[in-house]
Structure 1
Amino acid sequence: MARDVVENDGPTRRDYVKYGGALAVGGAFAGCSDLLGSEQGTANSGQESYTVTMSPVGTVEFDEVPRSIFTRLSHHAGMAFALGRGDDVNALNGPEYYHATWNQFTPRLPGVSLDWSNLYPSWQTSKEKLYDLDSDVHLADPASVVQLEKWSMDDVDEVSEQIAPWFGNSLSARHQEPIDEWDGDYEYYGLWEQFEKVAQVFREEERYEALANIHADVIGTIEDGLPPEVERPSVVLLTAADVEKKIWAYTTGNPGFLTSHIRPLRPHDAFGGSLESGSNVDFEALLEADPDVILFLSGMQPDVSMTELRATLASHPIASEISAVENGRVFPQGARYQGPILNLFQLEMSAKQFYPEQFGEWPISDGGPYPEIPADEQLFDRQEVADIINGAF
């Protein structure tokens, strides 16, 4: 049974001032009873074994730091990447796609590289394949895996006991309920809350702290620069293989880490909560909603032309009347299942796409890679982030 927990997108700069940095190493997370009562992480330094606790897996004991890493969804792979462990990932949902996605951003991080192109595609993973991979940890949500065909609770337990533990949380993406077959409670985490737990698994609390501090500063900068509510745009996220044939629309205010780069900017949902996220819409419905900003998911992909997309919309008799199209505010996005590093970039890009007067204009381009932003208009220091990933901080 799922238990709704108010999701926190991560400590703000004000939180760091208020608590003296305590939030960076354990506290106000879903399921925690007090700010400083975490039994995990640094407190176990120097011990031969250590434990980390997170829903839905509970308390997991590790005899040593895991080396080979199985992931199913890219937010977990992105966490490994942020901790300098990207090359240890052996599986990923859509490896070629997410290899391309992450590598639209890595060119802006000096000395950082990543190759996920030949990993095992793990969306419909099998128990037998997990035996073959023989990973040291499965950064995947067992409550999500048990939804797959041919998986049972017994299979989930067997993998944990015979191969390596599960340690992941995916239903926090949109605060979905686990299926009835899942035997246990479920709690929801923000992206950075979960990232701290994963950092504890790899004994990388210092890396987490360093990145969380940057994230808190970005959130603080955004909060300080937000215009009054009446001046904030209405926004919709779209994706489509062919925008003239079939469009999926995603709401921007729903809870979960899929919108953790948008909610802090507090735009208006173009559909006003009337649309179920992931619904099919047509140009008539978009014109009725009339968003000020259209965000196009996958727009950063190397094989997607934002120039052609904008031209298609502008030449269509109905789509051309949408405010976002009329005013040239159709922008690319990267990934919703984002890890911490993409989250930093996407907070910056969304801030510029929504509020150019406050945060500087987003450069109009044909898509990826992430454009060069003048140093005085960057919301975070690229070299500092690269140093943390590379362990040189």
Structure 2
Amino acid sequence: MDINRRQFIGVGASALAAGLAGCSSSGGEGNTETNTSTSTSQGKTATSTPEDTSYTVSMSPTGDVTLEKPPESVAHYFPGYADMAVALGHGDTINSMGLPSRYHTNHYTELDGVSIDKESLTKLVGDAGISKEIFYDLDSDLHMIDPQWLIKNNTFGLDAADIEEISEKVSPFFGNTIFRRTDKWHDYRYYTLYDAFEKVAEVHQEQEKFSRLKSFHDQYITDIQTKLPGPNSRPNALLCWQGSNEPETFYPARLSGKGTNKKAFHDVGITDALSGTGIDGLSESNRGTIDYETVLEIDPDSILLRGHEQKTREEFENTVVKFMKNHEVASELRAVKNGKVFRGGPIYPGPLHHLFLVERYATGYFPDTFSGELFDREELASIITS
């Protein structure tokens, strides 16, 4: 462990990282007191103590984490949290991702001066799950990851003892699983997208920038919602996942559910086509599928299909939609006939991605009302890079 660097991070009430509080300067044996400097002038000795710049950030389930300065190297699992760091101008602190393939970054190309070196990110999830050693190799100042997400996912192979060890010997964990709200083990507080974003801003000490970004978001969403048709005139959608270019079965999800991955749909007033059908959505414990015959019984106004975020709209049309139009049953669906089959967006959206998603769905669902760019890219980029 790099004690010289690790001394800049301490822990408050977080039990997982309590041992970290013992880290101190490596100046030599016995040199464990607070650093002071002395000066002598005209026979008088003055002693000065460096100003305490530490700050504490609290978030469920990890509790209080005390930092001496903003972290320079942060381990991430969720792309949504990485998007928050980029929005705050700290994309260079991101050193890893659970699955980099799920971190969609094309929207950064539309924001001047905003980018991330995705190729440099370490992939946390391997064939055998997540190795404890990878966190030692990364030697991060902070793990921006909900530890319960790592513990409760049996495929990762980590347990509470592993997380406690990493917290003590490397650095603490800080984060909350917010992209969905269907995990039975998540029995602690949930955060909205901007609640969590505010916590990340505190970690990076970018509260003023967060305030400006939130104001940008609030005004943008207000402008959109004041132009939406009345509730009775808004379409419903079947949200599901299927990554195949020739889909035959689908994993349904409840669009009416909470979690950050549904926020863009709610912001543009799209309703859940599965309401009242008795069909449960995709969750940790439910991996059931539905076929075209079931979809035809529902006959939704539109279909939102996840698993194709790497495609452009044109590529999606030329593969998935083309297949559905030529399918004996799918071609009978109202959504297919009316051209209302859309990419369903990422599973882990962050605040910047969310702005682009709202634009995508507003223009896709209500083309007579919305068209072109719905928010000022230059203004947004200037906030991020300021």
Does TM, normalized by the shorter one, top 0.5?
yes
Aligned match of 1:308 = 319
Asked if 2 retains the 8 angstrom alpha-carbon contact of 1:172 and 1:188, the reply is no
Asked if 1 retains the 8 angstrom alpha-carbon contact of 2:79 and 2:102, the reply is no
1:388 aligned to 2:383? yes
Which one-letter code corresponds to 1:265 in the other structure? V
| Identical-residue share of aligned pairs (%) | 35
Matches within 5 A, 1:234-245: 234-242=236-244, 243-245=246-248
Aligned match of 1:363 = none
Shift of 1:93: 2.1
CA root-mean-square deviation: 2.0
1:84 aligned to 2:55? no
Whose Rg is larger? 2
Shift of 1:204: 0.8
**What SS does the aligned partner of 1:225 have?**
coil
Aligned match of 1:152 = 159
Shift of 1:97: 4.3
1:290 aligned to 2:293? no
**What SS does the aligned partner of 1:235 have?**
strand
Shift of 1:65: 0.8
Asked if 1 retains the 8 angstrom alpha-carbon contact of 2:130 and 2:158, the reply is no
> TM-score by structure 2 length?
0.78
Which one-letter code corresponds to 2:115 in the other structure? S
- The match for 2:330 among 297, 300, 319 is 319
The verdict on how the C-alpha distance between 1:67 and 1:232 changes in structure 2, with shifts beyond 3 A counting, is same
- The match for 2:281 among 273, 277, 280 is 277
Residues of 1 paired with 2:236 and 2:326: CA distance? Answer: 22
**What SS does the aligned partner of 2:163 have?**
helix
Which one-letter code corresponds to 1:281 in the other structure? I
Matches within 5 A, 1:190-209: 190-209=192-211
Asked if 1 retains the 8 angstrom alpha-carbon contact of 2:316 and 2:343, the reply is no
Which one-letter code corresponds to 1:262 in the other structure? F
Aligned match of 2:353 = 342
Aligned match of 1:358 = 369
**What SS does the aligned partner of 2:264 have?**
coil
The verdict on how the C-alpha distance between 1:244 and 1:223 changes in structure 2, with shifts beyond 3 A counting, is closer
The verdict on how the C-alpha distance between 1:172 and 1:385 changes in structure 2, with shifts beyond 3 A counting, is same
Residues of 2 paired with 1:312 and 1:349: CA distance? Answer: 22
Which one-letter code corresponds to 2:88 in the other structure? L
Shift of 1:172: 5.5
Asked if 2 retains the 8 angstrom alpha-carbon contact of 1:283 and 1:318, the reply is yes
Aligned match of 2:251 = 248
Residues of 2 paired with 1:219 and 1:72: CA distance? Answer: 28
Aligned match of 2:171 = 164
Aligned match of 1:34 = none
1:299 aligned to 2:308? yes
Aligned match of 1:39 = none
- The match for 2:233 among 231, 234, 239 is 231
Matches within 5 A, 1:82-121: 82-98=87-103, 101-103=104-106, 105-121=107-123
Which one-letter code corresponds to 2:269 in the other structure? R
The one of the two structures with greater contact order (alpha-carbon pairs below 8 A, sep at least 6) is 1
Asked if 2 retains the 8 angstrom alpha-carbon contact of 1:306 and 1:332, the reply is no
Deviations 1:323-368 (A, max 9, x none): 11001111224312011100111111112222222323xxxxxxxx
Shift of 1:92: 0.5
**What SS does the aligned partner of 2:57 have?**
strand
Gaps of 5+ in 1: 1-45, 180-184, 361-372
Asked if 2 retains the 8 angstrom alpha-carbon contact of 1:144 and 1:171, the reply is no
Which one-letter code corresponds to 2:229 in the other structure? P
Matches within 5 A, 1:258-269: 258-269=261-272
Matches within 5 A, 1:113-152: 113-123=115-125, 124-149=129-154, 150-152=157-159
**What SS does the aligned partner of 1:138 have?**
strand
Asked if 2 retains the 8 angstrom alpha-carbon contact of 1:174 and 1:258, the reply is no
Asked if 2 retains the 8 angstrom alpha-carbon contact of 1:96 and 1:116, the reply is no
Residues of 1 paired with 2:179 and 2:345: CA distance? Answer: 19
